[in-house]
Structure formats: structure tokens, C-alpha cells
Structure 1
Amino acid sequence: MAATLIGVLAGSLLTSRANRTHWSRDKQIDACAAIVAESTRIQLALRRAWRHGDAVDWVPWNVALGTVWLVGSPAVVAAAATMDQVFWDHRDQFIQQTATSETAWKEARDRMETARLDFINAARLHVDPRHNRLTQVPVSRPPLPGSRQGLPSTGRAAPDTSRA
């Protein structure tokens, strides 16, 4: 009888630990997915602010950052902080519409996309260290006017988001 009771108790503890680990991993993945989505939204919002004077809503981005700070690993948090710093480095020139050319946008966009890719790789490696690093940004960018950028890896033409 004692062996049965010990077995039930041990099984309960192991199940509880597995459930907590699974819950934590799910929360981390959700938080990282929110960072990727919100970073893309902020990047497009900065472009709309520059081109059309639209307001940028930072609240969802800050919520996503706060969530990553709560559940993310140090490497994931550092990568999110780098992305946030890139936004801060470029926000004034686009919100105040002082950027003078598409080249300024291209440089800022490239930094944002590099920071996003670094974040994605940090998150992937944290979730499963067997993942390989990615080298392509997750969102295809349209070519700048007058540039000769090729097709995205899907073989389809990039969508026209120049209004964004």
C-alpha cells in the first residue's frame, strides 16, 4: 500500500512539473509571436507616419515587450530590447517626418528587419536548440522605387506596400 501511495505521489509531482514546463513554453512562444507581429506592425506604422502623418500606437508593442520581459529567457529579452532600441533610434525621423529620402527609410528598415531576424533566431534557439538559424526575414519587402531587387524566395512578386 505504501508503494502505491508513493507511486501516485511521484506520478502527481512529475505530471505537475511537466504541465508547468509545457505552460511556460507555450507562454514563451506566444510572447515571442506577439513581438514578431508587433514589430512588423510598428515598422509599417513608422512608414505610414513618415509618408502620411499617421499616428503610431505604441501600446501593443509595449505590452508585447512587457510580456517577453516576464517569460522570456535573457537572450530573448536582450534581442527584444535591441529591436526596441532600433525603433527608438529611428522613430523621430519618421514620426516628425524629417527623413529626407527613401534611402533613409531603407537604412532604418534594414536595421529593423535585422533586429527582428536576430530576435526570431534567439527565440527559435531558446524554444529548441536544435533549430538552425534563419537568414531570411519573415516578411517580404517591396523593392524601393527605381531598385532592381529580385523576387522573394516564394517566386511570387512582392506585394505593393508602398502605401504603407
Structure 2
Amino acid sequence: MTAALLAAVTGVVGLAIGRLWDTRSESTRWRRDQKTACYQRLAEEFQATYEAIRIIALTDTNSTSLQSLIEHTRTGGFAAWDSAVAAIWLHGSAEVVASATQLDDAIGTLFYSAVERQLTTLEAWRQARVPAREALERFIESARKELDLPSVPVRLFTDPRAIPSGSN
């Protein structure tokens, strides 16, 4: 009888420990999935936001659509970006939050440079976009590190003039 009781208690304790372990594992997987989704979303929103800013920067100053482009981007174009940044603030590690905040600052600076018409040439645009590009690369690096993924060289918007030609 004692052996049967001991076996039953051991079985119940084993089930309880197993369930506790399973719950913790599920919770860890859920948190990792949330982080992955947030990090991916910010990277995707970067492209859309960056493109909206590029259009503003390179639109002719005399264009009748320039003001409506600026207003549309200011009032609605940043909603998805802001939401993606806020999700990082909620789910990201300290390092990823810091790099996402730097990226947000760089995007804001790029936007206001475009709106204030400081970027009216392709060359000015290429130079002004460098801090945003570098901030995105740092964000991707910190996100990959957080997710225990190997480091990979990421270089976005490479200036074609920086690529060595075959004649050298």
C-alpha cells in the first residue's frame, strides 16, 4: 500500500513539474515569437517610411502635390511606423530598444530634412540617408544578437560609386 501511494504521489508530482516546465517553455517561446514579429515589423515599416520620405525629398518644390504628400506622410504615413516602434518598446531587450530609438530619431531627422527642402538633389539625398541606413543596420545587428542568430553583414542602399569597378 505504501509503495502504491508513493508511486501515485510521485506520478502527480511528476505531472505538476512537467506542466510547470511546459508552461515556462511555452511562455519563453511566445516571448521570442513576439520579439521576432516586432523586430521584423519595424524593419518592414522602415522600408515604407523611408520610401515616403524619399518621395517627399525628391519631389519638385513647385509641384502642386508636394504639400499634400508632406501632410499625408505627417498625419497618416507615420502611424504604422510609430506603432512598430512602440511594440519594440514593449517587447524588446534594452539593447534593441536603444537601437530602435536611434533608428526612430534618424528617420525623424531625415523626414524633417526632406520637409524643410534641404534634400533637393539626388546627391544630397544619398548623403542625408546614411545615418538612417546605419541606424537600421545597427538595429538589425542588435535584433539578430537578441534572437541568438549569427551576425551577418548587412549593408543597405550602397552607393553605386562605392562599388569597385572591374577596370581597377
> What TM-score do the two structures reach when normalised by structure 2?
0.78
For 1:108-123, list aligned pairs within 5 A: 108-123=128-143
Q: Could you tell me the percent identity over the aligned residues?
A: 24
Map of 1:162 onto structure 2: none
- List gaps (5 residues or longer) in structure 1: 152-164
Deviation at 1:74, TM superposition (A): 0.3
The alignment of Structure 1 onto Structure 2 pairs a total of residues equal to 144
2:14 is aligned, of 3, 7, 10, to: 7
CA distance in 2, matches of 1:127, 1:84: 21
> Is contact 1:51–1:97 with CA below 8 Å preserved after alignment?
no
For 1:112-151, list aligned pairs within 5 A: 112-128=132-148, 131-132=150-151, 134-137=152-155, 139-140=156-157, 143=160, 148-150=161-163
Deviation at 1:95, TM superposition (A): 2.3
For 1:61-80, list aligned pairs within 5 A: 61-80=81-100
> What is the root-mean-square deviation in Å for CA atoms of aligned residues?
1.9
Q: Tell me whether 1:47 sits opposite 2:54 in the alignment.
A: yes
- List gaps (5 residues or longer) in structure 2: 1-7, 60-65
Q: Secondary structure at the match of 2:117?
A: coil
CA distance in 1, matches of 2:159, 2:126: 11
| Misfit runs of 4+, over 3 Å | 139-143, 148-151
Higher helix share: 2
Residue type at the aligned position of 2:37: D
Is the radius of gyration larger for structure 1 or structure 2?
2
Q: Tell me whether 1:106 sits opposite 2:113 in the alignment.
A: no
> What TM-score do the two structures reach when normalised by structure 1?
0.80
CA distance in 2, matches of 1:100, 1:58: 22
Q: Deviations over 1:133-155 (max 9, x none)?
A: x3332x55574xxxx3549xxxx
Residue type at the aligned position of 1:34: R
